[in-house]
């Protein structure tokens, strides 16, 4: 059987996504009931990080173990990758030891090379182009809280050229919900991206954060300065200063709106402490759902 990779959301059909969310819900419920599974018995997952990680590492390691498999985490700085070993060599060797690879990297070209040369499924654990495994958890959380994605309005506030915003745009195209982006023009999604990945999606871009959030069902954001952008942090704080998800902005959303953030959060910058800890926050349910959504993904790709 031909191996399948998960480098972006569109590597799965909408029907496959929906079945994945249904399976994630079952796995979540059964874990809370104390039930265990052995669907990955005898399987080894190798998780390779060129960027630091908390949730991606913990959730994939826990997911493999809880499904009866085993995970090995390889930090690039502790491997021959740091000494210049080509990705194609790393990919072929790792695939000979493992049944699946999660790769967290910078450039999408490195991710694509890993997938091209590895003979086992490769999962994007985050790249410049997107963060699809995070979106699985985010979308699953919206379904849990609101029943479905149908007819929903999602507001993205802040840096809309980020990998998270890119994945939300891709999700809007696949699932058909309305995505409103509130971002300064300096950090708006490019027209080229909207015309390719976002083609056919209901995406509306505005520089007015309050207009983006008005009556939205979901309000989501991410840090203003991502890994690798530290030298730009002062300028980013200056430009994005008016795009913080605070209680005043959230008041413009629908009263039943939930707030998402992929974490880590810089409280007081892109989101305030009171919103993170407030009654509309689904942030920590979202973080837990990384585990359940990725379990369902591993079952789909590795079994």
Distance CA 19, CA 107 (A): 30
Is residue 54 marked as binding? yes
- Out of 17, 57, 104, 152, the active site residue is 104
Answer yes or no: 134 catalytic. Answer: yes
Stated length of the chain: 303
Q: DSSP letter for 35, please.
A: -
Ranges assigned E (strand) in 76-176: 100-104, 122-126, 153-157
Q: Given 131, 146, 166, 292, which residue is catalytic? A: 131
Annotated binding-site residue? 207 = no
Q: Is 44 annotated as a binding residue?
A: no
Known binding residue 267? Answer is: no
Whether residue 53 is annotated as binding a ligand: the answer is yes
Q: Which residue has tokens 């669907």?
A: 39
Catalytic pick from 134, 236, 261, 294?
134
The yes-or-no answer on residue 159 being catalytic is: no
Check: CB of residue 37 under 8 Å from CB of residue 24. Answer: no
94 in a known ligand binding site? no
Q: Are 210 and 249 a contacting pair, CB within 8 Å?
A: yes
Does the annotation flag 162 for ligand binding? no
* H/E stretch holding 18: helix 14-32
Q: Consult the annotation and say whether 1 binds a ligand.
A: no
Angle at 57 (CA atoms; ends 139, 49), nearest 5 degrees: 110
Check the annotation: does 80 bind a ligand.
yes
| Catalytic-labelled residue, pool 217, 290, 292, 294 | 290
The question of whether 290 is a catalytic residue gets the answer yes
Asked if 132 and 167 count as a contact pair (C-beta separation under 8 A), the reply is yes
Q: Are 168 and 232 in contact (CB under 8 A)?
A: no
Pick the catalytic residue from 146, 262, 292, 294.
262
- Residue 131 a catalytic site member: yes
Q: Is 55 annotated as a binding residue?
A: yes
Cβ atoms of 131 and 6 within 8 Å: the answer is: no
Inter-CA distances, 186 with 96, 128, 156, 237, 240, Å: 44, 17, 15, 12, 9
Residue 133 annotated as part of some ligand binding site: yes
Catalytic annotation on 262? Answer: yes
Give the active site residue among 146, 159, 222, 292. Answer: 222
Q: At what angle do helices 283-302 and 55-66 cross, to 10 degrees?
A: 50
Tell how many helices (H) and how many strands (E) occur in the chain: 12, 9
Q: Which residues are catalytic?
A: 104, 131, 134, 222, 262, 290
Q: Which residues are annotated as a binding site?
A: 53-56, 80, 104, 131-134, 163, 222, 226-227, 262-263, 290
> Which segments are annotated as binding site for L-ornithine?
163, 222, 226-227
Annotated binding site for carbamoyl phosphate: 53-56, 80, 104, 131-134, 262-263, 290
């Amino acid at each position: 059987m031909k191996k399948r990779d998960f480098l972006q959301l569109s590597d799965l059909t909408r029907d496959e996504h929906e079945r994945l969310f249904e399976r994630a819900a079952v796995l979540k419920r059964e874990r809370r009931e104390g039930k265990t599974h052995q669907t990955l018995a005898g399987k080894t997952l190798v998780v390779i990080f060129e960027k630091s990680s908390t949730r991606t590492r913990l959730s994939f390691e826990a997911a493999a173990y809880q499904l009866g498999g085993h995970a090995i985490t390889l930090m690039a700085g502790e491997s021959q990758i740091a000494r210049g070993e080509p990705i194609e060599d790393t990919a072929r060797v790792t695939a000979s030891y493992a049944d699946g690879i999660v790769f967290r990297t910078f450039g999408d070209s490195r991710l694509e090379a890993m997938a091209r040369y590895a003979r086992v499924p490769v999962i994007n654990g985050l790249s410049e182009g997107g963060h699809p495994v995070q979106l699985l958890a985010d979308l699953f959380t919206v379904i849990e809280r609101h029943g479905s994605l149908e007819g929903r309005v999602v507001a993205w506030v802040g840096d809309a050229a980020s990998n998270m915003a890119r994945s939300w745009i891709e999700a809007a195209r696949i699932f058909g919900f309305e995505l409103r982006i509130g971002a300064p023009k300096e950090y708006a999604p490019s027209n080229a991206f909207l015309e390719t990945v976002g083609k056919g999606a209901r995406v509306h871009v505005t520089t007015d954060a309050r207009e983006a959030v008005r009556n939205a069902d979901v309000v989501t954001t991410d840090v203003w300065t991502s890994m690798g952008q530290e030298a730009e942090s002062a300028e980013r704080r200056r430009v994005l200063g008016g795009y913080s998800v605070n209680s005043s902005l959230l008041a413009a959303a629908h009263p039943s709106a939930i707030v998402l953030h992929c974490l880590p959060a810089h409280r007081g910058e892109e989101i305030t402490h009171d919103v993170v800890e407030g009654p509309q926050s689904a942030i920590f349910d979202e973080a837990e759902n990384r585990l359940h959504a990725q379990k369902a993904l591993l079952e789909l790709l590795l079994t």
